[in-house]
Amino acid sequence: MAFKKNNVLKLSTLILVLLLLFSLFKFHKVTSNFDNFKEKSFEESKLKQSQLDEILIKYDSLRLNTKDNSLNFITKAEKNDVEDFEDNDVNNSEENIIDSQIQILKNAIETDSKQVVFLTKKISSDKKTLNKLESLKIKDVNIKADKLSVTNINARGVKIITDKYGRSSDKKIQQLRVCFTVEGNEFIKKGDKKFYIQIVNPRNQIISTESTFIELKDVKLIYSAKVEANYAQKDIDICTYVDLEKSKTIKGKYKINVYNEFSKIGTAIFDHN
């Protein structure tokens, strides 16, 4: 039994020794490989550093002697690489400047185009206004209108009840009874005077059942009714009826203008509810 135990102990010791020797061998191998790798890396690093230093020296020499054609120690390929690098920088700078100028011109063209459109519209509008003003100049129209004036302008809506119109259930008024007073003035010549009544509905439409108007040269006056009276330089009351257009008769405020020839001599408001 004791012999068997001794054999086991010897065998275990032998195995341990072998493992230790194997470990020492592996450690030595790894250490040797690491030293070789370290030495090799150091040599490669020195070589790369040397090459880099040489390139930097050549590049500095090229920068300082770009006009000297006797630099034979720089190869043609290396010189072309440096020149391409500098040319790229110059080209990029020029492209940036051109792009900036193009954008500035585009912005200027856009602004000028908007200004041209605005000025074109303004010129067109001003021409229309000028034509209207020129057509309304009193000195260009030979109008003989007296300096009459009217007061007490009033109006009342009425419905016509005759065989012609019948007894309609429509609540809309069919006529306006317009009355006004022409003031007397001893400085105005006596005689027959023509008065034109113009009715303008709340939609700014002139009521003119028969499209009645007077026109002289470029001046046109659309009116709703006409009345004549003999003027004797004293106050005179005048009344007349104005036929209304059904499509233009709506609720709201109506403007009543009174003209003597082409001169407006009075105005008032009629409220139709």
Separation between Cα atoms, residue 142 and residue 57, nearest integer Å: 101
Each residue's pLDDT tens digit, 197-220: 999 999 999 999 888 999 887 788
**In the predicted structure, residue 176 carries a pLDDT above the cut 70:** yes
For the segment 132-142, the average pLDDT, to the nearest whole number, is: 56
3-state secondary structure of 189: coil
Q: What pLDDT is attached to residue 94? A: 78
**In the predicted structure, residue 252 carries a pLDDT above the cut 60:** yes
190 backbone dihedrals φ, ψ, rounded to 5°? -70, 160
Separation between Cα atoms, residue 218 and residue 232, nearest integer Å: 32
**In the predicted structure, residue 62 carries a pLDDT above the cut 80:** no
CA triple 190-192-198, angle to 5 deg: 120
**In the predicted structure, residue 56 carries a pLDDT above the cut 70:** no
For the segment 221-233, the average pLDDT, to the nearest whole number, is: 94
The mean pLDDT value of the chain amounts to 79
CB-CB neighbours of 249 under 10 Å? 19
Q: How far is CA 192 from CA 49, 54, 147, 171, 239, in A?
A: 122, 120, 14, 38, 16
Q: What pLDDT is attached to residue 270? A: 94
Q: What percent of the chain has pLDDT over 70?
A: 71
- SS3 per-residue string spanning 98-150: HHHHHHHHHHHHHHHHHHHHHHHHHHHHHHHHHHHHHHCCHHHCCCCCCCCCE
Each residue's pLDDT tens digit, 138-157: 444 444 556 899 999 999 99
For residue 213, list its beta bridge partners. Answer: 222
pLDDT band at 236 (very low <50, low <70, confident <90, very high): very high
What's this model's pTM, rounded to 2 decimal places? 0.46
